[in-house]
Amino acid sequence: MGKKRVVDLAEELLEGFLRENMYELYSAEFVKEGADWHLRICIDRLGEAEGSPCDGSGIGTDDCEKVSRFLSDRLDGLDPIERSYFLEVSSPGLDRELSRDRDFARYSGRRVVLSLYSPHEGSKTLRGTLAGIENGEVSLEDASGAVLRLPRGQIAKAAIDAGRLF
């Protein structure tokens, strides 16, 4: 079974279970690292992913274990993956990476760090408050209140600024 099909199957198996338990699939990948294969599932609380106020509970080890047991049981029953692999379930963490346009929309209003492919006014790293995304441009409000608009394609990496959450 190809990498994409493994991820698609995992997503399909998890869809209803995650929704019923108020989780959301944040990301999924099936990758080879060295000699080992890893099926990595990253989950988030549905309320946090939808942009509602965080109740502070986040995703804990019990949540990851619950999802891991469910998915492991389903995959063991089907046995669709020909090779051995490690199943890993985790949360995106406080410094979660923003990789999809919907992530930029959801986390609008949060402090972020943007790494750019080329410097903007001498810096390849920008910090500020994410003001959203529109027409392929990410808006970032700096400390002075000025809003900078950057083409999405100029951003190499974007993440929640966990160092400035507290």
Asked if 9 contacts 1 with a C-beta cutoff of 8 angstroms, the reply is yes
Give the separation between CA 92 and CA 97, rounded to whole angstroms: 7
Domains 3-90 and 101-164 share a fold: no
pLDDT tens digits, residue range 115-128? 999 999 899 999 99
Task: Please tell us whether the domain made up of 101-164 is placed in CATH 3.40.1360.10.
Answer: no
Averaged over 32-53, what is the pLDDT? Answer: 79
* DSSP one-letter code for 146: -
Distance CA 89, CA 71 (A): 10
Q: Domain locations in the chain?
A: 3-90, 101-164
Burial of 83 (0-12, 13-18, 19+ CB in 10 A): exposed
CATH class, range 3-90: alpha beta
pLDDT per position as a tens digit, 16-41: 999 999 999 999 999 999 999 999 99
**129-153 residue pLDDT tens:** 999 999 999 999 988 999 999 999 9
Return the beta strands (E) in the chain as ranges.
23-33, 36-45, 86-90, 111-120, 123-134, 137-141, 147-151, 155-160
pLDDT at 49: 45
Q: Over range 99-122, report the average pLDDT.
A: 91
Share of the chain above pLDDT 70, in %: 91
pLDDT greater than 70 at residue 165: no
